[in-house]
Amino acid sequence: MKALVTGGAGFIGSHIVERLLNDGHEVVVLDDFSTGHRHNLPEHSSLSIIEGDISNYDTVKQCMSGIDWVFHKAAVASVPRTVNDPVGSSLINYLGTLHLLEAARQNKVKRFVFASSAALYGDEPTLPKLETMCPVTLSPYAVDKLASESACGMYSRLYGLETVCLRYFNVYGPRQDPSSPYSGVISIFTNKLSHNEIPTIYGDGEQTRDFVFVSDVVEANMKAVTEKACSGQFFNIACANKISLNHLLKTLCELYEVELNARYEEARQGDIKHSYANIDKARTLLNWSPSIDLKEGLSRLI
Ligand code: NAD
Ligand code: UD2
Instruction: Give 258 Cα–ligand 1 centroid separation in angstroms.
Output: 32
Instruction: Give 160 Cα–ligand 1 centroid separation in angstroms.
Output: 26
Nearest Cα neighbor of 238 from 188, 283, 300 is: 283
In DSSP terms, which residues pair with 30 in a beta bridge?
6, 50
Architecture of domain 2-170+214-237: 3-Layer(aba) Sandwich (3.40)
Q: What pLDDT, in 10s, does the model give residues 170-202?
A: 999 999 999 887 789 999 999 999 999 999 999
Q: What does the mean pLDDT of the chain come to?
A: 96
| Residues recognised as catalytic | 141
Whole-number pLDDT of residue 94: 98
Q: How far apart are CA 72 and CA 266, in angstroms?
A: 35
Domain boundaries defined on the chain: 2-170+214-237, 173-210+240-276+292-301
Instruction: Give 158 Cα–ligand 2 centroid separation in angstroms.
Output: 36
pLDDT reading at 150 higher than 90: yes
Does residue 117 line the site of ligand 2, with CB under 6 A?
A: yes
Reply yes or no on domain 173-210+240-276+292-301 having CATH 3.90.25.10: yes
Quick one: 135 exposed, middle or buried, by C-beta within 10 A (0-12, 13-18, 19+)? middle
Instruction: Give 182 Cα–ligand 2 centroid separation in angstroms.
Output: 7
Whole-number pLDDT of residue 74: 98
Q: Which of 120, 133, 170, 243 is the pocket-test mutation for ligand 2 (most atoms within 8 Å of CB)? A: 170
Of all protein residues, the one whose alpha carbon is nearest to atom 10 of ligand 2 is: 170
Whole-number pLDDT of residue 16: 99
Judged by its nearest atom, the ligand closest to the C-alpha of residue 238 is 1
Helix and strand counts by DSSP (H, E) for the chain: 11, 13
Of all protein residues, the one whose alpha carbon is nearest to atom 2 of ligand 1 is: 35
Whole-number pLDDT of residue 272: 84
Quick one: 40 exposed, middle or buried, by C-beta within 10 A (0-12, 13-18, 19+)? buried
Of all protein residues, the one whose alpha carbon is nearest to atom 16 of ligand 2 is: 185
pLDDT reading at 33 higher than 80: yes
Q: Which residues line ligand 1 (CB under 6 A)?
A: 6-7, 9-13, 30-36, 53-55, 73-77, 92, 96, 115, 117, 168, 170-171, 184
Section 270-278 average pLDDT: 89
Of all protein residues, the one whose alpha carbon is nearest to atom 29 of ligand 2 is: 185
5 sits in which H/E element: strand 2-6
Judged by its nearest atom, the ligand closest to the C-alpha of residue 237 is 1
pLDDT reading at 53 higher than 80: yes
Instruction: Give 295 Cα–ligand 2 centroid separation in angstroms.
Output: 19
- To the nearest whole percent, how much of the chain has pLDDT over 70? 100
Give yes or no for a contact between 137 and 270, defined as CB atoms under 8 angstroms apart: no
Non-local CB neighbours of 193 within 8 Å, separated by 6+ positions = 199, 252, 253, 256, 258
Section 264-275 average pLDDT: 88
pTM beyond 0.85, yes or no: yes
Identify the band that residue 268 occupies on the pLDDT scale cut at 50, 70 and 90.
confident
Whole-number pLDDT of residue 240: 97
Nearest Cα neighbor of 236 from 220, 254, 223 is: 220
Q: What pLDDT, in 10s, does the model give residues 75-128?
A: 999 888 999 999 999 999 999 999 999 999 999 999 999 999 999 999 888 999
Identify the band that residue 292 occupies on the pLDDT scale cut at 50, 70 and 90.
very high
Whole-number pLDDT of residue 269: 77
